[in-house]
Structure 1
Amino acid sequence: MSCFSLFFKRSRTGQQQSDPYNEVFSGAENITRYSYKELAKATLNFDQSNKIGEGGFGPVYKGTLKDGTDVAVKLLSLQSRQGVKEFLNELMAISDISHENLVKLHGCCVEGRHRILVYNYLENNSLAHTLLGSRQSNIQFNWRARVNICIGVAKGLAFLHDGVRPHIVHRDIKASNILLDKDLTPKISDFGLAKLLPSDASHVSTRVAGTLGYLAPEYAIRGQVTRKSDVYSFGVLLVEIVSGRCNTDTKLPYEDQILLEKTWKCYDQGCLEKAIDSSMVDDVDVDEACRFLKVGLLCTQDISKRRPTMSMVISMLTGEMEVDKEKISKPDVIRDFRDLKLRSKATSSSSLLTSIMARSTPSSSQETTRTSITVTAISDRD
């Protein structure tokens, strides 16, 4: 049965016949339409005590509906400039997608400039809150649980990349967007939401400090988004899950602050097992854990074409395909926003110089244009 429905239905509280949105929602009766008032009531007016997460697209609150159903309520942080009909058209493009490792959308609220999505509530919050959080969680993440989480996330992402048409690039794979149900089955949230935001919104600028570590360099510096930029983010997440720590920790000595750099150092020195979470002492399969770390390093290669597809990642994680160690080199890492600013400035200067040189050489201008088109076309296939 589909996790999402293509249409919308009125919530059980009903809407008045004079509702100006009735015509827009006409014929869309199969998903619940919530009013802003009832969602505010369900979350105690979006009280901070009910806040359960903060993603790149906005805050998430736990709410309890009038019938007792617990839900997760996401407020899109950037007010959309789209009209109601355009917003719904974008939402309907992702509403019929169903997979075990993707969250379930219950409905939405569209009133005035409010754009709110309502999902099913998952009991064990996110990986950022539990495995990578303050360690106050009662969940025991043994090795088998981590294996299932890694493979589950990989399957969900592979489905978005190859199982739907047109394919979906998530753009924001990170621990806070991996939710866990009561059985610790991972569910990817926030997929497809990029299209719901204004076209001029900078996704990087909406991030809170600390999440920059998931961004593929070509995305952070040049804004180039492909499936391979998702693969990079997954690689970072994979290393986090095996290591049991966040990708950036400024409380550690400088050489250990960036997880990818530390993991590469361990790999390069032939002691990759040192990167495995030391809190796992009983059931950890060291060889398997090291294989997962190698896959993470392979996913985070500087050149996007060297990164595997998500279907290949699944095969390597399950042992059906060998990890090609010859393709593993030192991953590219953007340490912080200062690093990003400097590298972006350098890239802009280089692009400007290339443009000036092209204009000063008329005989090569057409060839330059053809080359640019070819590069773009290849990039789109990543």
Structure 2
Amino acid sequence: MWRCPQVATQQPLLQLLQQLRLLLLQQQQQFTLQRFSRRRCPLRVLFASSLYIFCCWWPAATAAAAAAAAPAAATSSSSCCSTSPLQQRHFAFCSSPYKPAATAEATAAAQAAAARLYSESVSSLHRQSCSLQQLQQQQQQQQRQLYAHHPRKKGAKHWNRSRPKKTRPSSINNKPTPYQKDPTDFANAPPEYLAVPDKDGLEALRAAPLQQLLLLLQQLPLQHRRGSSSLLRAPVPCDVRPPRVAAAAAAAIAAAVTAADPEEAAAAAATATATATPGLQVDAAEYARALRAAAEAAAAKAAAAEAKLAAVCPGQPPVAAAAAAPDTEAAQQLQRLAKQPELHQLLQQLQQLAEKK
């Protein structure tokens, strides 16, 4: 069926405007959604897409609409020539505004309307973006006011101290170490790290008595034996096992320890265990007998050592006799060297030099 050329000419322009309007509405909705989303769309992307639509897509669509309108106008003119004169007058009246010049004017008017619509849409988007920028600036200003006492350090400000470093007195060790100092570090240090004595000290150290004293002190621990009298005596542990822990046994032990004589220790232990149970009495009696036997053995050993020292050094107490009767060669030489007055003078001289320094 034949259609009016006016409708055929307006249809591409209306479709074009409708598509443009839908596209702008979609962009506006997408911008509104991204405005309230977490990652906002940059404004430069929005303006770039709008500029692309205005510069590239709109002229191509306009040219396509003009090309579609030209065949429709030619078809309408040929159909008008084949009809009756009455219909030709009617259609000439209807199609007279849509001659080529009129079609160009209509196209220009449609383009102006589309440009106006596009400019209004872009202005509304620009208005929204401006309001968004203002809101962001306001939020940044509020945040800057809120955190005004927290200045942000940038760049080289990290490397500049705004205050002097805290110091501590040397008496306070604020960085203690779990490793203890070794007191033998100085004694075991090589000679180049030790303090060198002066001329007087070197002369005193090079004297023959001091050199002999140092040599004997070095040889003395090497010549010691297990039974040597030059060794310092340590307390000998008691081989007697104590009885079970009980009140009577504890009293018997205390009485036996505080007693000055083996008989007195045995009597005190017997008196302390008289009221104990038969089992504890037996244990306490055995312990008292063992203590008495150990004390008798120690007394006999001490009497034998005293008799031996009295034979070596007659007329001297046991301590002096033990000191005068060393059994190693280094200890005997050290004993003879200690009686020289020259060694005492050198030692006093070294002490005076050390105090003077």
Larger Rg: 2
Q: TM-score, structure 1 length as denominator?
A: 0.17
Q: Name the structure where helix makes up a greater proportion of residues.
A: 2
Q: TM-score, structure 2 length as denominator?
A: 0.18
